[in-house]
A = this chain, B = another copy of it.
């Protein structure tokens, strides 16, 4: 049987779950409840996994330390999901009603702040360089979300800007996690850069695939209806490619440029998108990033963790949710 990508770090990932559960305990039970509602709703744990894998691939041994910072990255991710859903008015997340819908916007917003604070408290116990890496990753998220808001509903978004957005919101935080793992394992600067490069590349691949799945995915496995990006006016890579198609592009574009896009508009547009070369081109883009990630990782000494990192890179582009 082929081992799964996470088979080498099952124990550490379990510790991450424990660490997160402990960190969100609060005398205000609702804060704990909302936090756990989001954290406990599954999720792939890519972020903590990358930190733990790079740490172990670099020979790191202080497990409690890496578990703590890995948990901080996942909790930051959870915080951004809560706030994102408020901003995008997304109804579902990971097969559940979004937190703000279930608990109210006010309480969800506070819980997001709470998760941020708790993550930073965990990160703040590390040295200045780690604090800087964590904070810069969070800054990148905020900046790219702002950039994304500037291109909302813009059918002429340059692909370079799309790439900048997904780099900031997804790839840089994963890169930071990879760098932190290597740094904590006392890897030299060259190795830290390699691990960072791996994280950045799989992060880009991951987000491109996410954007593809919003078009071709299955509602049930996605845990939310597809077409959400279209409805939200997010100019994702597959949509940008599809709108450039000579046959279907103009009609997709017309639907995209509507002041308010319905789910029916989305379904109509998506049916056209899949007739263009957009999905294929995007898959190739994602695969390019994966190849890049694996090329970088090939320079790292062999280990079971390195193998896991390669399997993870592959799994991220082969997934259907």
Tell whether A218 is near chain B: CB-to-CB under 8 Å: no
**Sample (18) of A-B pairs whose CB atoms are under 8 Å apart:** A26-B143, A31-B146, A87-B106, A87-B109, A109-B109, A111-B146, A112-B113, A114-B139, A114-B142, A114-B146, A116-B116, A117-B142, A118-B135, A118-B139, A121-B136, A124-B128, A124-B134, A125-B128
Q: Is the CB of A106 within 8 A of B27?
A: no
Q: Which of chain B's residues have a CB closer than 8 A to the CB of A227?
A: none
Shortest Cβ distance from A39 into chain B, in angstroms?
16
Q: Chain A: interface residue count, which band?
A: 35 or more
Q: Which of B26, B107, B124, B131 contacts A149 (CB 8 A)?
A: B107
Tell whether A285 is near chain B: CB-to-CB under 8 Å: no
Tell whether A120 is near chain B: CB-to-CB under 8 Å: yes
Assembled-state Cα–Cα distance A61/B26 (Å)? 37
Assembled-state Cα–Cα distance A30/B142 (Å)? 11
Given A105-B87, A123-B124, check contact A31 B110 (CB 8 Å): no
Assembled-state Cα–Cα distance A26/B134 (Å)? 17
Shortest Cβ distance from A169 into chain B, in angstroms?
11
Assembled-state Cα–Cα distance A143/B35 (Å)? 13
Q: Is the CB of A110 within 8 A of B26?
A: no
Shortest Cβ distance from A125 into chain B, in angstroms?
5
Who on chain B is nearest to A115 by CB? B142
Q: Is the CB of A146 within 8 A of B86?
A: no
Given A87-B105, A87-B106, A124-B124, check contact A113 B131 (CB 8 Å): no
Q: Which of chain B's residues have a CB closer than 8 A to the CB of A123?
A: 120, 124
